[in-house]
Amino acid sequence: MQQKMQKLKDILAEMADLKGAIAVLGWDQQTYMPNGGTEARGRQSGTLGKVEHEMATSAELGRLLDELKPYAESLDPDSNDARMIKVAARDFDLATRVPSDFVVEQAQITAMANQAWAEARSKADFSIFQPHLEKIVDLTHRYVGFFPPADHPYDVLLDIYEPEMKTADVKKIFNELRPKQVELIKAISRKTRIDNSFLYQSFDEKNQWDFGIDVITRLGYDMNRGRQDKSEHPFTTGFSLNDVRITTRVESDFLSTMIFGSIHEAGHAMYAQGHSPELERTNLADGASLAIHESQSRMWENLVGRSLPFWEFFYQKLQEKFPQLNLVTLDNFYKGINKVEPSPVRIEADEATYNLHIMLRLELEIGIIEGKIQVKDLPEIWNAKMKEYLGIEPENDALGVLQDVHWSWGAFGYFSTYALGNLISAQLWENINQDIPDLSEQISSGKFDDLLSWLRKNIHSHGRKFMPQELVKKVTGSEIDPAPYLRYLKDKFGKIYGL
């Protein structure tokens, strides 16, 4: 059996190499590739994707997994080999349902769609992106059709990003969360408004960049195994354990975008840099799910990066970069970066309103999959939902339906993981503070080693060994629970707004 196990590892290693090469092409397209290369890049990605898919669905791999399943049952169920076989069998089942020709077509269509989205967003014109999105929606319906009927067709898409999570489960969590967050937002709206105008000044872009690099390296992002570049929409991608890259966006007249965008993506990247070396070039060298990934990025961005102890250490350094902040006290700066005010843009939304952005997108995606919403009607429906959920309407399509890149990638089923990640981050945070009782003091001293070590041990090192709900329960004692996040919001904003 050891020979067969080694054969499986060899196949998985080659597939990992192909996925890494595909990721390099995607990173280049988002950062440095000239616009004229889009069509060729789609073909290149499609070809490599086809080769990887053919390996992932080969009869040889299927026979090997059938032979190894009894062996897996004889192992410690939490051992790397047992989990590797289990995850490989799940991946094989999913992959064999999707034809290789579909994989090629999807790569080509999304490459063109991504370029069209960038143009449409820059011109605030949805009509440029609409025909491409219609093709993607058609692809998405076809993808769902490859699988047996689920309780809800959206389950098939959600499972891509959040394994074993059901649409009904997400709706239940959101239905519990929504009224309590709305209640909090209403209570805050009755209080004196916070002034954060000092964030909207002219800030030298190089100084922003240098400050951001200093922050993320102090947090623990290893620049010897990563780099940061600019892109239209911030993202993280990894080609190996030792090459995990992030991008960010810099705005010359708004300070928060670059700082918190970089911290957010560094949170993703530190997770990817923290997988056990034993998992490298295997199917386990990845995150447990996108919600687990988002728990890491949102934790570093918000629970750490928007905390008072964090700025007790970093604020003087920020003032040295930007003397125009010298007249802004630490207390006012802290309140300013945590101001609660409905925003049309998700990635700039405050913690109290952020989840409502996700709930809106989930509702739209479910409507599209159910056939109740047509692509051509999305801008109008988006704006109406923004009015309903947040009481505001976007000024244009760029601030509305075009603000997120995900649909151009064909990533339907993705958005709910952001909100789920928020919930998980707070669950983990309560446990972290029990295990590291002086965490606040450490953060205010610029020390993040203990926090990162805790995450490495309990989350990062496991990679993809455990299902997301299983991992959360192992660490916190319960599955995803909105209560800790609500406690966190009420405590934090209760103090800021005197509730």
Round to whole Å and give the CA distance between 117 and 344: 18
Across 179-193, average pLDDT? 92
pLDDT of residue 347: 84
**Which stretches within 231-283 are classed as H helix?**
256-273
Both tokens assigned to 193: 């408004």
pLDDT of residue 76: 95
pLDDT category, 1, cuts 50, 70, 90? confident
In the predicted structure, residue 499 carries a pLDDT above the cut 90: no
pLDDT of residue 458: 98
Contact 322, 451 (CB under 8 A): no
Contact 267, 297 (CB under 8 A): yes
Round to whole Å and give the CA distance between 322 and 205: 11
Structure confidence by residue, pLDDT tens digits, 80-94:
999 999 999 999 999
Contact 233, 404 (CB under 8 A): yes
Q: Which of 52, 73, 164, 265 is catalytic?
A: 265
Structure confidence by residue, pLDDT tens digits, 437-472:
999 999 999 999 999 999 999 999 999 999 999 999
pTM score above 0.85 = yes
265 in catalytic set: yes
Round to whole Å and give the CA distance between 403 and 397: 8
In the predicted structure, residue 338 carries a pLDDT above the cut 90: yes
pLDDT category, 4, cuts 50, 70, 90? very high
- Pairing between strand 228-230 and 236-240? unpaired
Q: How many CB atoms lie within 10 A of CB 484?
A: 20
User: In whole numbers, what is the pLDDT of the chain averaged over residues?
Assistant: 95
Structure confidence by residue, pLDDT tens digits, 213-269:
999 999 999 999 999 999 888 999 999 999 999 999 999 999 999 999 999 999 999
Round to whole Å and give the CA distance between 55 and 15: 7
pLDDT of residue 161: 94
